[in-house]
Structure 1
Amino acid sequence: MNKTTVIGLDLAKHSFEVVVINGQGQLQQRKSLRRHTLLPFLLRQAPAVVAMEACASAHHWARRIGDQGHQVRLLPPQHVKGYLRGQKNDYNDALAIAEACVHGRVRPVPVKTLAQQDEQCLHAIRRGLNADKVRLSNQLRGLLGEYGLVVPRGDAALRRALVTHLDETATGLSPRVRTYLARQYARFVALLDELAWYDADLRQRVKQDEACIRLQAIPGIGPVVASMVRHWMGDGRQFTCGRDASAALGLVPRQHSTGGRQRLGGISKRGDPHVRSVVVHGARAVVSRASGKTDPLSCWVQQLRARRGFNKAVVALANKIIRMAWVVIARGEHYRPQGEVSSVAA
C-alpha cells in the first residue's frame, strides 16, 4: 500500500473534496469537484487506490469507480476520525481518509453488490412499514382506551374491535369519533396489506437463494433473519473465521483491559443494529423453547441458562448462530446438528 498512489475522496451530495497522495506519503494534488466532474477526473488518473468513508452513496460510487480500473477502499468513519488533524472541513476529512488508507491498519468495508443493496432497500422499507403499523396500532388502542374500550393483543384482534365499534348500532362512540377512527382504520388496513406484500416478496426471494435456504436449517433463523444475515455478510470472505463475523456484529464482550489485567463487560454492540436485533430475537425464541429437549444444542442452552440466566444464554446463542451462519455462507456447507456431526466423524 505504501508504494501505491492513494486518492482520498470526501463524499457529499454535490461537492467532492479530492486529495492525491503518492507512494511516499506526500500530498501531490488537491481539488474540489462537482458531482458531474468526479468520474471524468478519476478516469484521467493512473490506476490508484481510491479511499472513501463507508457512508451514504459510498457503495454506488465504489462500483462506478471500480469499473474505471481503480481499487476502492471503503473505510469505517469511526476509525477514520482518529486520523483527522486540525479543524473539521472537507479538505481535512479527505486527507484523513487518504492517510488512514495509507496506514493500512483500518479494515475496509466490503463493497456491496447491486443485489445486496436491493435487499437492504427491501428491509429498510419493510422496517419502516412495521414501525408505522406499530405506532398506529398503539395510537388506536390508546384512543379506544379513553372511551373504556380495551382491545386484546394482536393486529387481528384490533381489526375485529374496530369493525365492531365502528358499527353505527354500537354504543359509546359518537358519530364524530367513528368518522375519525374509520379513516385511521382504513390507513391501518392499508399498512397491513402493504407489509404483507413485502413479506411475500421477501419469502419468495429467500426461496430463490441457495445460501438462504441452507441458513434456515440453523435453529433461530427464519426467512427474515436468513435474508438479513445473507445480505449483511455477503460471501463471508471478509472474515477469517466465525468469531470475526460475530465480533463485527457486536456479539462479543466489550474489552477495557490495562496493565495486563483483562476486564470484559457486556457485548460491544458494533455493526448493524438491525441485523443484530433480529438474530438476538431468533436466539430468544430458541432459548425460550429449549426446556425438555434432548438434542445437544438444547442441552447446552439449558445448562448455560441455569448457570448464567436467560438473557446471557440468548446472547451466547446469538453469537453461536452467527458463527454457524458464517460456516454455511463462506464455506458453502450445510448445517448439521452436533449429534449428527459426531456420528459422521465416528
Structure 2
Amino acid sequence: MVKHKIIGIDLAKNSFYLFILNKDGKAESKKKLTRTKLLAYLAQQTKCTVAMEACATSHYWAREIQKLGHSVQLLPAQHVKGYLRGQKNDYNDALAIAEACLHGAIRPVPIKNIKQQDEQTFLQMRRHLSAERTRLINHVRGLLSEYGLILNKGSTVLQSALPGILEDANNNLTDKMRALVNRQYYQLVALEDELSWYDKQLKLDAKNDEVCQRLIKIPGFGPVVSKVVKSWMGDGKQFQRGRDASAALGLVPKQFSTGGRDRLLGISKRGDSYVRSQVVHGARAVVCRASEKNDPLSLWINRLVEARGFNKAVVALANKLTRVAWVIIARNEQYIAVK
C-alpha cells in the first residue's frame, strides 16, 4: 500500500494522458489534458506522487509540479517499457508509468535544477559542435580524395593544408571545386573559433566549480571529464555505493547466468555513452603512462595490463575512477593519491 495516490503522466507536446491509481494501487480514473490545463488540474489534487518518464521536457514539468507540493518521480523509459500490457496507446503508457512507480523497483532519475540543466545544455552544445567539426573534416577529406588529394587525419592538418591546395594551380581542382572547398574552409574556421570559446568557458567554469576542482585531482580527470561526470552524477545521492554508479554507466560486466552457472560477458554499456566514453578516454591516457611510473596505482595498472591486456585494463581503471568520483561527490571528500 502506498501513502498517496499515484498519477502516471504520458508526456507529449500538447496533449497529456493521465492514469490515476488510488492508495490501494487500483485504477481510479484516466484523463486527457492539454498542456495549458495540466498544472491547473494538479493544483486541485491532494498531495500525491506524480510519475513521468525521463524524457524531453520532463525535468521542467517535474520542477513545476514539485512547486505544487506533489512528490515527483522520473523513471527511465527503457525500464518502464516492461510494465506495458496490451496494445500500445497513450493511456496504457500512462498506466505502465504509474505501475512502475507503484512497484518501486526502478531507480528514479534525479530531477535537475536550472543550474544543472544549464550545465548539461552547455556540454551538449559543445559535444554537437565537436561532432559537426569531425563530420566536416571527414567530408572535405573524402571530397579531396576524389581529386587525388590525400590528407592525413586531424583538424590542424586540414586547416594548414587547405590554403595551399586552393592556391595550387597545378592540382586537379576546377574553379567550381575551389569555390566549394573555400566555403568549407571558412565553415571549418568558424567551427574551430566557436569550439575554442566553449573550451575556454569550460575550463573557466571548472576552475570556479569546487566539485570539479576536487574531481580534477583524480588521474585521468581533466576539466572536460570532471564537468561531464559532475553533470551526469549530480549530487550522487541516487547511488548507495560507488559500484552502483559504475554499473549505471555501463562499466561492469554483463551477466548471462542460468542454472546456477555464472557467466560474465563484456561490459554492459548501459547509461550515457558520451559520459562513459569520456571516462574511458581519461583512463586510457593514465594507462598509457603507467609503465613510466612506480606509484601503487600505476603498479596495479601494469599488472592488469600484463595479465588481462591493455583494453581490459583501461575499462577496469575507468570503473575504479568512477567509483572514486562517486565518493568525492556524494561524500564530499578529497582525492589523496597513495604514494
Superposed, which structure 2 residues align to 1:1-346 within 5 Å?
2-167=2-167, 171-339=171-339
Mapped partners of 2:170, 2:134: distance in 1: 26
Aligned length: 339
Extract unaligned runs of 5+ from structure 1: 340-346
The CA deviation at 1:171 is 4.5
Mapped partners of 2:26, 2:148: distance in 1: 73
Q: Secondary structure at the match of 1:150?
A: coil
Give the AA of the match of 2:9: L
**C-alpha deviations, 1:122-155, integer Å up to 9, x for none?**
1211111111111111122222223332323332
The CA deviation at 1:3 is 3.0
The CA deviation at 1:169 is 5.2
Q: Secondary structure at the match of 1:74?
A: strand
The CA deviation at 1:96 is 1.1
Q: 1:53 to 1:267 in 2, by over 3 A?
A: same
Mapped partners of 2:249, 2:164: distance in 1: 46
Mapped partners of 1:301, 1:123: distance in 2: 30
The CA deviation at 1:226 is 0.5
**C-alpha deviations, 1:256-297, integer Å up to 9, x for none?**
212222111111111111100111111111111211210111
The CA deviation at 1:15 is 0.5
Q: Which runs of 4+ in 1 moved over 3 A?
A: 168-172
The CA deviation at 1:175 is 2.3
**TM-score (norm: length of structure 1):** 0.95
Mapped partners of 1:179, 1:250: distance in 2: 46
Mapped partners of 2:69, 2:193: distance in 1: 45
Extract unaligned runs of 5+ from structure 2: none
Q: 1:89 to 1:171 in 2, by over 3 A?
A: closer
Q: Secondary structure at the match of 1:32?
A: strand
Q: 1:118 to 1:170 in 2, by over 3 A?
A: farther
Mapped partners of 1:37, 1:50: distance in 2: 16
Mapped partners of 2:17, 2:34: distance in 1: 9
Mapped partners of 1:37, 1:144: distance in 2: 56
Mapped partners of 2:26, 2:143: distance in 1: 65
Contact 1:3 1:22 survives alignment (8 Å):
no
Q: Secondary structure at the match of 1:289?
A: helix
Q: Secondary structure at the match of 2:7?
A: strand
Give the AA of the match of 2:73: R
Mapped partners of 2:100, 2:168: distance in 1: 68
**C-alpha deviations, 1:234-254, integer Å up to 9, x for none?**
011111111111011110111
Q: Secondary structure at the match of 2:266?
A: strand
Give the AA of the match of 1:60: Y
Contact 2:50 2:70 survives alignment (8 Å):
yes
**TM-score (norm: length of structure 2):** 0.97
Mapped partners of 2:272, 2:174: distance in 1: 47
Contact 2:220 2:286 survives alignment (8 Å):
yes
Give the AA of the match of 2:289: R
Q: How big is the alpha-carbon RMSD for the aligned residues of Structure 1 and Structure 2?
A: 1.3
Mapped partners of 1:171, 1:19: distance in 2: 68
Mapped partners of 1:164, 1:74: distance in 2: 54
The CA deviation at 1:168 is 5.9
Q: Secondary structure at the match of 1:338?
A: coil
Contact 1:164 1:170 survives alignment (8 Å):
no
**C-alpha deviations, 1:150-183, integer Å up to 9, x for none?**
3233322211111111126564433222111111
Give the AA of the match of 1:296: P
The CA deviation at 1:37 is 0.2
The CA deviation at 1:77 is 1.4
Q: Secondary structure at the match of 1:265?
A: strand
Contact 2:4 2:47 survives alignment (8 Å):
no
Q: Secondary structure at the match of 1:20?
A: strand
Q: Secondary structure at the match of 1:72?
A: strand
Mapped partners of 1:77, 1:115: distance in 2: 24
| Percent identical residues | 59
